[in-house]
Amino acid sequence: MNTPETALPADADDGGRTQETLQLLADMGREFVSTGDLNAALYHAVEHITRYIDAEGGALFMLDESGATLTCLACSGETEITGLTLGSDQGIVGRCVQQDTGTIVRDVSKDTSFFKGVDEETGHVTRSILCAPLSVKGERLGAIELINKRGGDGLFVDGDLTLLTAMADSAAMAIVNARMAGQLVEQERLARELELAAEIQRSLLPEADEALPVAGVNVPARTVSGDFYDFFQLDDGRILFNLGDVSGKGMNAALLMAKTASLFRCLGKAIDHPGKLMARINEEICETATRGMFVTMVGGIYDPATGRLRLANAGHEPPLLVGADGTFRELPADAPPLGISVMLVPDNGYPVEDIGLEGGAFYIFTDGLTEGYTGQGQELGSHGVRALIETEKQAALGERLERIIAAVRDSGEALRDDLTMLGVDDSAPARKRSADNRTVPKIAQHLAAIEVPSNPDRLRMVREMISDCCEIAGCDTDARRDIVLAVDEACQNVIRHAYGGDANGRMGVSVWLDSGQEGSRLRIEISDDADPVDPATVRPRDLDDVKPGGLGTHLIREIMDTVDFVAPPVEAGNILRLTKTL
């Protein structure tokens, strides 16, 4: 049963000895498999094999990661060399590693590879060496070396090498397994952390609310996403929304996304002007280094009560405007992304576009959608997005976005980028607006009109006209007094704010009595030719803060039922419409 190559030690024909040898290998194998401390197991193995083969000493050398050096990891016997480092081709152990074969050197003085340095250092005399490589499928890990056989004729035999080789193979396998297990544990830890990060990130997205005419979808290409969207309703019913795309993917993009999204939500509650809000976010992001990352974003504010949409575009893919008649219009950006430079943004913020949706819809999406594959290796493209919007126009907004996204998500092709889309659908709010308007039937009786210069000394004329109109409309004294005050305050805003105090502007005041079965209302329209007023700046002040000034707008809103800017017939100028149900 024994060939010379596989022979067990010389006295192996002793059945008890064979049994013992197998037992040793089995024990060491078991310790390698079950150990939580590989180094200790390797140390035991070296100790056992040294004693078993009856050598003076033994040592286990490991290659470093680069393969340049061999370091003694464990040793047994009289000479302590743990930590000793050799070049990976130095000595007999180096040769054994390089050639990946075991070796018996019965007289080291006749072997030119022998490295005398250790003996010189330790005073130990090496006569013979037995060495077996540690390797798995050609992957070299190191070697085990025994020194100076004690018993018998003091020479290592083939059986010793066979035994050492068997043990080295078992140890090598244990080392590789332990390394792989370590990598797996690390990978799993990272995966768990990514999953946690993704969970936090999902919680930054707003919850779907079918009652709102705004919805969004986000499908990350990896666990975490560099895209985001958000929307929330302000106390006055207007809805602030955004969609952004951080350059790059992965964890660093996700972190910048979290920062940007948080800034938008936090600052958006105080700054309801999209251009100024985004300029502020830009400043914040620019203030800290982002390692060359930047954020493209469309941010806006939508008022379901009027269908007006104001938006700013910081370098993002052009959003799509879909009219109630199905016509498409792209809204390209002419401002830089967030996080590049404060200098590139005008002092008064990102440019803002003001749009009347008038029953139409508005979509923002990331290039993950337009550049996503639809199945035949074809990019969806902007035309594809338009076609899907057209096909799915009957679906509810949230469902519509899901189906459009699904064209790329479910194509069977791996996602190349995050898919994110946000939509604003004005169709339901528009129906409600027109229903609200119908409650006051359209029998409009023009009561009076006056055109005066924007001079405070003409306000009395306006007040008298309004007072007379109220009397014609049948208002009681209190209502008349209130309406006169509201119109007077509105005219003051024109003089002071729209014209900035210039007394030579044109100011028109026109009064109608709209009446029908459901009652009647007084409608007053105040027009001017000044530069368009930002309605966001015409807001009631906080009354808890009792200070002079800023009170007029509060009085107007307190008295009148509706206060709205309506689109003027020509480019310039403003028309403020006030109504009061009688």
Partner 1 sequence: MDHETREHGEHLIIAFSGDIDLQSSSQARTVLLDAVSRGQPLLVDLSGVEYIDSSGVASLVESFQKARKSGLDYVLVSVSDGARRVLELARLDKVFTIVSTIDEATAGGS
403 contacts partner 1 (rule: CB under 8 A): no
559 contacts partner 1 (rule: CB under 8 A): yes
Residue number with CB closer to partner 1 (488 or 525): 488
CB 257 within 8 A of CB 243: no
C-alpha span between 353 and 338 (Å, rounded): 18
444 contacts partner 1 (rule: CB under 8 A): no
Binding segment for partner 1 (CB under 8 A), chosen from 30-38, 312-320, 339-347, 482-490, is: 482-490
CB 143 within 8 A of CB 70: yes
Please tell me whether residue 410 adopts helix, strand or coil conformation.
coil
Binding mask 242-261 for partner 1 (x = CB under 8 A): --------------------
C-alpha span between 170 and 132 (Å, rounded): 12
Binding segment for partner 1 (CB under 8 A), chosen from 91-99, 267-275, 481-489, 510-518, is: 481-489
- Give the number of other CB atoms < 10 A from CB of residue 303: 19
CA distances from 551 to 191, 526, 565 (A): 57, 19, 19
Residue number with CB closer to partner 1 (100 or 542): 542
Considering the complex, what minimum distance in angstroms separates the CB of residue 429 from partner 1?
30
Pick the binder of partner 1 from 222, 481, 497, 506 (CB under 8 A). Answer: 481
Considering the complex, what minimum distance in angstroms separates the CB of residue 489 from partner 1?
6
C-alpha span between 94 and 85 (Å, rounded): 11
Angle CA 469–470–472, to nearest 5: 65
Q: Where are the beta strands (DSSP E) in 6-100?
A: 55-63, 69-77, 85-87
**How crowded is the C-beta side of 572, counted as CA atoms within 13 Å?**
8
506 contacts partner 1 (rule: CB under 8 A): no
478 contacts partner 1 (rule: CB under 8 A): yes
495 contacts partner 1 (rule: CB under 8 A): yes
175 contacts partner 1 (rule: CB under 8 A): no
Long-range contacts of range 116-119, CB-CB < 8 Å, 24 or more positions apart?
118/79, 118/81, 118/84, 118/91
C-alpha span between 504 and 454 (Å, rounded): 6
Binding mask 366-395 for partner 1 (x = CB under 8 A): ------------------------------
Long-range contacts of range 321-327, CB-CB < 8 Å, 24 or more positions apart?
321/355, 321/357, 321/360, 321/361, 321/362, 322/360, 322/361, 322/362, 322/363, 322/389, 323/358, 323/360, 324/358, 324/359, 324/360, 324/427, 324/430, 326/390, 326/393
- Give the number of other CB atoms < 10 A from CB of residue 394: 7
460 contacts partner 1 (rule: CB under 8 A): yes
Considering the complex, what minimum distance in angstroms separates the CB of residue 218 from partner 1?
44
- Give the number of other CB atoms < 10 A from CB of residue 262: 14
Considering the complex, what minimum distance in angstroms separates the CB of residue 582 from partner 1?
18
Considering the complex, what minimum distance in angstroms separates the CB of residue 460 from partner 1?
7
558 contacts partner 1 (rule: CB under 8 A): yes
Residue number with CB closer to partner 1 (283 or 468): 468
Residue number with CB closer to partner 1 (4 or 549): 549
Considering the complex, what minimum distance in angstroms separates the CB of residue 523 from partner 1?
21
Residue number with CB closer to partner 1 (419 or 524): 524
Residue number with CB closer to partner 1 (410 or 542): 542
Please tell me whether residue 460 adopts helix, strand or coil conformation.
helix
Binding segment for partner 1 (CB under 8 A), chosen from 141-149, 387-395, 428-436, 488-496, is: 488-496
504 contacts partner 1 (rule: CB under 8 A): no
16 contacts partner 1 (rule: CB under 8 A): no
Pick the binder of partner 1 from 111, 353, 371, 482 (CB under 8 A). Answer: 482
Residue number with CB closer to partner 1 (330 or 561): 561
Pick the binder of partner 1 from 63, 214, 224, 484 (CB under 8 A). Answer: 484
Residue number with CB closer to partner 1 (368 or 552): 552
Site for partner 1 in 514-553 (CB under 8 A): 543, 546-549, 551-552
Residue number with CB closer to partner 1 (8 or 559): 559
Partners of 524 in beta bridges: 511, 578
463 contacts partner 1 (rule: CB under 8 A): yes
C-alpha span between 41 and 26 (Å, rounded): 13
Which H helix or E strand runs over 530?
Answer: none
* Nearest CA-CA partner of 171 in 205, 203, 201, 145: 145
Binding segment for partner 1 (CB under 8 A), chosen from 303-311, 426-434, 438-446, 484-492, is: 484-492
Site for partner 1 in 141-160 (CB under 8 A): none
| One-letter amino acid for residue 497 of the chain | H
Residues 6+ apart with CB under 8 A from 177: 32, 33
Q: What does the binding site for partner 1 look like in residue numbers (CB under 8 A)?
A: 456-457, 459-460, 463, 478, 481-482, 484-485, 488-489, 492, 495-496, 543, 546-549, 551-552, 554-555, 558-559
